Amino acid sequence: MVDNFSIGLTHVLMAIALWRLLYRDDLDRETSPRLQWQQRRDSERADEDARPDA
């Protein structure tokens, strides 16, 4: 009984992990996380530069 439960539990957990991996948004992007971070940083700097100084 315990053996079947442990095997079933591990398989369910692996299925949940696989499900979560397959439905991640970043799997559809071709750019690297570092490039995304650099683009976000550059856009934030551009926004800061565009604000008028008080």
Cβ-proximal residues to 50 (8 Å cutoff; 6+ apart), any chain = none
Q: Are 29 and 36 in contact (CB under 8 A)?
A: yes
- Cα 51 to Cα 22: distance, rounded to the nearest angstrom: 40
Question: How much is the pLDDT for 7?
Answer: 95
Tens digit of pLDDT at every position of the chain (54 positions): 779 999 999 999 999 999 999 888 777 777 788 888 898 999 988 877 777 765
**Euclidean distance between CA atoms 46 and 44, whole angstroms:** 5
Pair of tokens at residue 9: 């539990």
Identify the pLDDT of residue 53. 64
